[in-house]
């Protein structure tokens, strides 16, 4: 087994049940093996689990920005597609019970009714909160699970009980095309985000061992767009291979000054996470003369990262996504890993090692109708005051109503397919 992983108490055999205890000792999850594949060595090579007792598949989020929506929904967990960069590999997100990432998925069999209950429970929320992102912890349209998790029953629940909710669906699976007609019926409220990391099929096999091909995913974009569904091309994470320098045992991206050509290693940071990464909020810390130096955002934008190779062909993607019919585009830097480690892990048939201290470059972000800040005629960010229902209760200062918060207005392209006023999104 090429992964560093300790199985959690399950032996072989279909039908065994696993119990997971929380820190307080309460049993919250139960899983039953629905299906498993046995490898040549007699060990399970992959398992499909059914959640027989589980909490709500919907989760409220405490920050909202271009990449985080007020709620997430998942018809299960895990993914057989085995992308090497997948954030679900990280311990914080690991929910696997019996096998490592890429070899185990679990499904809830009540996703449709849970969606209806979620929509009824949250019908009172203000419009800006009525947005859900599906499929952040799993591939909901995976061919092996879609008939069990039945995300299409969730779609019908939105169609019936949540007509004024926005539903963002993330996928790499052409199986979603089986429901293209239903999505077209719901085009005023769905945005389908098709995920890529490169347009090159050979590079895709390095970073995405088990996913559908690039060509198949482009077909999703083309087909759904042709039916009038709002489709976003997501080049996320983008595979920019940087020039790196090790400082105090941590590798950092090397930046170059646009005018002087001077180089120094460092990292860019967004100071305000509950908003959008406007240039005025991106600061840079550089290692110069053996000391860390903070540069203000105005100076920071003069420094650009030095890129060894762009495996995502970002210029080509940015020039092409409209031709495929898509209405929106977004890209974002890689979390947790550097590209060279992903390539090395692929060559050695092992899981990649996340890099401690890895800081993504926020200036790699490119958002087109995907959550970018909207500016007024004077070039200033447009803002709006809303009740911060997404804020955790501890920030309500004991009040019964959430505090008023000022938010940047974001452009998600909603105006192209919906008449609903989303308040902080257009």
Residue 141 Cα distances to 151, 165, 172, 294, angstroms? 7, 21, 8, 45
Among 29, 172, 268, 358, binds ligand SF4 (CB under 6 A): 172
Residue whose structure tokens are 């109503």? 401
What does the alpha-carbon distance between residue 108 and residue 55 come to, in Å, rounded to a whole number? 10
Q: Which is nearer to ligand SF4, 44 or 83 (CB)?
A: 83
- Give residues with Cβ within 8 angstroms of 290, minimum separation 6: none
Dihedral, 117, 119, 123, 126 alpha carbons, nearest 10: 140
What does the alpha-carbon distance between residue 105 and residue 144 come to, in Å, rounded to a whole number? 9
Tell me the per-residue interface mask from 91 to 130 with ligand SF4, x by CB under 6 A, - otherwise: ----------------------------------------
Tell me the per-residue interface mask from 195 to 214 with ligand SF4, x by CB under 6 A, - otherwise: ----------------x---
Tell me the per-residue interface mask from 209 to 248 with ligand SF4, x by CB under 6 A, - otherwise: --x-------------------------------------
Residue 356: name the closest of 336, 341, 339, 340 by CA.
336
Q: With contacts defined by CB under 6 A, name the span among 28-36, 74-82, 270-278, 399-407 that binds ligand SF4.
A: 74-82
> 397 burial class (0-12, 13-18, 19+ CB within 10 angstroms)?
exposed
Note whether 79 binds ligand SF4 by CB under 6 A. Answer: yes
Dihedral, 240, 363, 361, 209 alpha carbons, nearest 10: -40
Note whether 34 binds ligand SF4 by CB under 6 A. Answer: no
The minimum distance between CB 261 and ligand SF4, in angstroms, equals 37
Contact 306, 262 (CB under 8 A): no
Q: Which is nearer to ligand SF4, 97 or 156 (CB)?
A: 97
What does the alpha-carbon distance between residue 210 and residue 1 come to, in Å, rounded to a whole number? 17
Q: Which is nearer to ligand SF4, 88 or 386 (CB)?
A: 88
Q: Which is nearer to ligand SF4, 139 or 372 (CB)?
A: 139
Residue 208: DSSP 8-state = B
Residues in contact with ligand SF4, counted by CB under 6 A, come to a total of 9
The minimum distance between CB 352 and ligand SF4, in angstroms, equals 12
- Give residues with Cβ within 8 angstroms of 63, minimum separation 6: 273, 274, 390
Q: Which is nearer to ligand SF4, 82 or 245 (CB)?
A: 82
What does the alpha-carbon distance between residue 48 and residue 139 come to, in Å, rounded to a whole number? 13
Sign of the CA dihedral running 176, 177, 183, 187: positive
What does the alpha-carbon distance between residue 231 and residue 26 come to, in Å, rounded to a whole number? 42
Among 66, 86, 206, 239, binds ligand SF4 (CB under 6 A): 86
Among 36, 139, 360, 372, binds ligand SF4 (CB under 6 A): 139
Note whether 88 binds ligand SF4 by CB under 6 A. Answer: yes
Q: Which is nearer to ligand SF4, 238 or 282 (CB)?
A: 238
Q: Which is nearer to ligand SF4, 82 or 383 (CB)?
A: 82
Q: With contacts defined by CB under 6 A, name the span among 80-88, 119-127, 271-279, 322-330 that binds ligand SF4.
A: 80-88
The minimum distance between CB 142 and ligand SF4, in angstroms, equals 8
Contact 234, 196 (CB under 8 A): yes
The minimum distance between CB 139 and ligand SF4, in angstroms, equals 5
The minimum distance between CB 176 and ligand SF4, in angstroms, equals 12
DSSP 3-state of 66: coil
The minimum distance between CB 88 and ligand SF4, in angstroms, equals 5
Q: Which is nearer to ligand SF4, 80 or 414 (CB)?
A: 80
- Give residues with Cβ within 8 angstroms of 211, minimum separation 6: 81, 82, 83, 172, 204, 217
Residue ranges binding ligand SF4 (CB under 6 A) = 79, 81-83, 86, 88, 139, 172, 211
């Amino acid at each position: 087994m090429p992964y560093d992983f300790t199985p959690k108490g399950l032996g072989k055999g279909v039908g065994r049940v696993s119990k997971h205890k929380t820190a307080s000792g309460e049993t919250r999850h139960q899983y039953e093996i629905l299906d498993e594949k046995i490898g040549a060595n007699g060990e399970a090579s992959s398992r499909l689990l059914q959640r027989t007792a589980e909490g709500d598949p919907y989760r409220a989020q405490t920050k909202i920005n271009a990449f985080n929506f007020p709620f997430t929904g998942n018809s299960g967990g895990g993914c057989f597609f085995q992308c090497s960069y997948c954030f679900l590999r990280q311990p914080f997100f690991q929910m696997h019970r019996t096998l490592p990432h890429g070899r185990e998925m679990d499904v809830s069999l009540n996703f449709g009714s849970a969606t209806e209950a979620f929509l009824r429970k949250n019908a009172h929320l203000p419009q800006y909160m009525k947005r859900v992102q599906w499929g952040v912890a799993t591939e909901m349209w995976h061919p092996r699970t879609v008939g069990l998790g039945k995300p299409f029953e969730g779609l019908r629940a939105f169609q019936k009980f949540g007509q004024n909710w926005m539903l963002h669906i993330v996928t790499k699976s052409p199986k979603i095309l089986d429901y293209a007609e239903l999505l077209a019926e719901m085009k005023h409220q769905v945005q389908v985000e098709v995920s890529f990391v490169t347009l090159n099929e050979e590079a895709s096999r390095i970073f995405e061992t088990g996913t559908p091909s690039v060509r198949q995913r482009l077909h999703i974009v083309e087909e759904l767009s042709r039916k009038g569904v709002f489709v976003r091309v997501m080049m996320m994470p983008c595979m920019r291979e940087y020039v790196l320098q090790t400082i105090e045992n941590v590798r950092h991206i090397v930046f170059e000054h646009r005018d002087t050509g001077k180089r120094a290693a460092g990292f860019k940071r967004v100071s305000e996470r509950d908003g959008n990464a406007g240039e005025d909020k991106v600061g840079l810390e550089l290692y110069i003369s053996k000391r860390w130096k903070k540069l203000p955002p105005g100076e920071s934008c003069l420094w650009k990262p030095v890129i060894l190779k762009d495996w995502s062909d970002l210029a080509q993607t940015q020039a092409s996504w409209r031709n495929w019919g898509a209405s929106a585009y977004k890209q974002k830097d890689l979390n947790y890993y550097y590209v060279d480690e992903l390539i090395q892990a692929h060559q050695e048939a092992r899981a990649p090692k996340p890099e401690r201290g890895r800081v993504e470059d926020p200036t790699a972000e490119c958002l087109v109708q995907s959550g970018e800040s909207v500016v007024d005629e004077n070039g200033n960010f447009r803002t709006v005051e809303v009740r911060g229902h997404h804020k955790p209760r501890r920030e309500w200062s004991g009040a019964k109503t959430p505090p008023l918060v000022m938010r940047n207005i974001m452009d998600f392209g909603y105006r192209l397919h919906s008449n609903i006023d989303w308040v902080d999104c257009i």
